Amino acid sequence: MKTGLIYSPIYLEHDTGSHPENAKRLEAVMAYLKKMGVLNRIGVFPPRKATVDEVALVHTKEYITSIENKAINGGGWLDMDTFLSPASFDVAMYAVGGVLTGIEKVMAGELSSAFALVRPPGHHAGISKASGFCIFNNVAVAARYALKEYKLQRVMIVDFDVHHGNGTSDIFYSDPAVLYFSTHQYPFYPGTGSISETGSGEATGNTVNIPLPAMSGDSIYNRVFEEILVPIGRRFRPQLILVSAGYDGHREDYLATMRLTVDGFVRMTATIKQLAGELCGDRMVFALEGGYATESLSECIKATLETMNGEVNIGELQVSKETDKEDADSVSIIQNARRLHGLA
């Protein structure tokens, strides 16, 4: 079994013009993957369209209908950051469906892992609200779908986008079946994701926020994943790992001020792959979130796919400290998170 890429040109039809989240992102990625021969080594599979009932596992039907009607009537702004074109409702349904397709192929054993190269992204979308370029919460719907259709008891979501996935966090804040783990620049948009937000009720401890200072880079993220994600994952014992894969933490991305390199994303992917192999039969599905500098985005996704597919020798990677801000603040955050979640 190999890694598969879920993709369709329909994702280009979500027409946002010169908005940072635009079709050129995926066009650049696919051109680069083809140029570098990656598409010859992994399978490429078309997404299916999610049904309204599937999307309603997370979102209200009233909200879904409102998005459909607004698209039918020509679209427009849903909030100050999020644009809807006439085709966007259908595209958003295929974005959800792309992640569901990945889950179906992984759970059937057709693929060991899958990367859903989709847009619009999803992790800011709430139950009845679009936000931060996101219309439907692709990964949140996928988690609920996996729990329902495959009778799973535990799903872990790892979100390494540079922005906190406030929509995903809110949706699962009191759900003990889902562990949400997020690394993000803080303070930064959307202003949520403090270390003290840990879940509620039976799910207390199942929300794990690692709010990192600006200029954090490879070595800090590597410590977070090794010292926090790995033991948290082993304690939770997920049966499936979903990843909100945002590449806007790369040092060349213009929407944030983190200092990650391609190798940093490779190490994060390798750690997730290690956990998936150890805990849930290799089952993991990545879904694209952010990443707006098309050259670095393309390089990062290529490296992610190669790592997922077992083509990268992790031992040869160097953890870059060149631009890291591994100061007292970031070290303190790691130590505090370990104590807060009973890892110290």
What CATH number corresponds to the domain at position 43? Answer: 3.40.800.20
Indicate if 124 belongs to the active site. Answer: yes
For residues 171 and 147, is the Cβ–Cβ distance under 8 A? no
On the CB side of 227, how many CA atoms lie within 13 Å of its CA?
A: 17
Predicted local confidence at residue 35, as pLDDT = 98
| Residue 125 to residue 26: CA distance in whole angstroms | 20
Which residues constitute the domain of residue 57? Answer: 3-340
Q: Taking 60 as the threshold, does the pLDDT of residue 321 lie above it?
A: no
d(CA 95, CA 116): 8
Nearest to 44 by CA among 53, 52, 34: 34
Residue 324 reports pLDDT greater than 70: no
Mean pLDDT, the chain, whole residue set: 96
Q: What is the pLDDT of residue 344?
A: 80
Name the active-site residue from 14, 123, 124, 163: 124
The pTM assigned to this predicted structure is 0.97
In sequence order, what E strands does the chain have?
3-6, 43-45, 76-77, 83-84, 113-116, 155-159, 178-185, 207-212, 240-245, 284-288
Number of domains in the chain: 1
CA distance 42 to 1: 10
pLDDT of residue 211: 98
Query: How high is the pLDDT of residue 318?
Result: 64
The predicted pLDDT at position 323 comes to 54
Q: Is the pLDDT of residue 314 over 90?
A: no
Per-residue pLDDT, 103: 98
pLDDT at 278: 98
